[in-house]
Amino acid sequence: MATPRFYVSIHSCNLLIMMYNEYIESKVLPIEKRGTAMRSKSPELMKEICQYAEQYYLQNGISPSTTKIAEEVGVSRGTVYKYLVAMNDRGMIEYDGHDIQTDVTRKLNTETSQTAIVGSVPCGSPQYEEENIEEYISLPTAIFGKGDFYILHASGDSMVDAGIDDGDLVVIRKQNYADDGDIVVALVDNQNTLKTFYRDEQGRKIILHPENESMDDIVVDNCYIQGIACHVIKAL
């Protein structure tokens, strides 16, 4: 029995080759195009990662881990690492596999002052101040400025309307005078309290005003100003 033979014209061969090439091109991207697609990164995610790294450094004094960043921005650790490397390559940040530095963190890193946390100050009825130094923390001068500072834990709820909640750290600039409207650490009868400072219309009485509508003013003839609240570090 003779084997069947198939004859294909040159025109048919060319047509088949063209169809095959079109099929291949539809399935496989050129290497250059694939590389471009893989290198593309979301500008929004880059910005989010950068802002979180700066915020975390401000609060903790160190760079966040890839795990922390991943939890914050909602992507995998591997994706965070690739983004950090890409951002480093583009000059957006400096990343050595551990520390993340941006223009903001470099500025914060240049100058700091060691500031003592010296116990608590009541946001309520006046209480004795505990002068025991608990620890020292570094305050970046770029944010807090230069000066003689100490830090107290806020306790109570009399200053909540001023944004000072129980457990917050209040940065106090040491000075013995105040203007109306300043939030002060005031010593009254050997007890201290954190309140807003005012004088009455006659200038004879000092009013220590709680920033809480449910609480009454403390009115005294005199008090000793131990410092002015200038910053609040919110409790986590």
Task: Tell me whether residue 76 is one of the annotated catalytic residues.
Answer: no
Give the mean pLDDT of the chain: 79
For the stretch 56-98, pLDDT in tens is 887 777 889 999 999 999 999 999 999 999 999 999 999 998 8
> Model pTM?
0.54
CATH superfamily of 111-233: Umud Fragment, subunit A (2.10.109.10)
Q: Parallel, antiparallel, or unpaired: how do β-strands 218-220 and 169-173 relate?
A: unpaired
Average pLDDT of span 218-228: 93
Task: Tell me whether residue 195 is one of the annotated catalytic residues.
Answer: yes
- The pLDDT, as a whole number, for residue 172 is 92
Q: How confident is the model at residue 220 (pLDDT cuts 50, 70, 90)?
A: very high
- Per-domain residue ranges of the chain: 42-110, 111-233
Count of CB atoms within 10 A of residue 26's CB? Answer: 8
Left, alpha or beta for 92 (phi > 0: left; psi -120 to 50: alpha)?
alpha
- Rounded to a whole number of angstroms, the CA Rg of the chain reads 32
14 vs 81, higher pLDDT: 81
Catalytic residue among 26, 155, 158, 174: 158
Catalytic residue among 195, 205, 214, 234: 195
10 φ, ψ (degrees, to nearest 5): -60, -40
Q: Tell me how far apart the alpha carbons of residues 85 and 71 are, in angstroms, rounded to a whole number.
A: 18
- Please list, in sequence order, all residues whose beta carbon lies within 8 angstroms of the beta carbon of residue 89, skipping any fewer than 6 positions away: none
- Tell me if 42-110 shares its fold with 111-233: no
Left, alpha or beta for 91 (phi > 0: left; psi -120 to 50: alpha)?
left
Q: Please give the class, per CATH, of domain 42-110.
A: mainly alpha
Nearest one of 149, 233, 229, 171 to 196, comparing CA atoms: 229
- The pLDDT, as a whole number, for residue 225 is 94
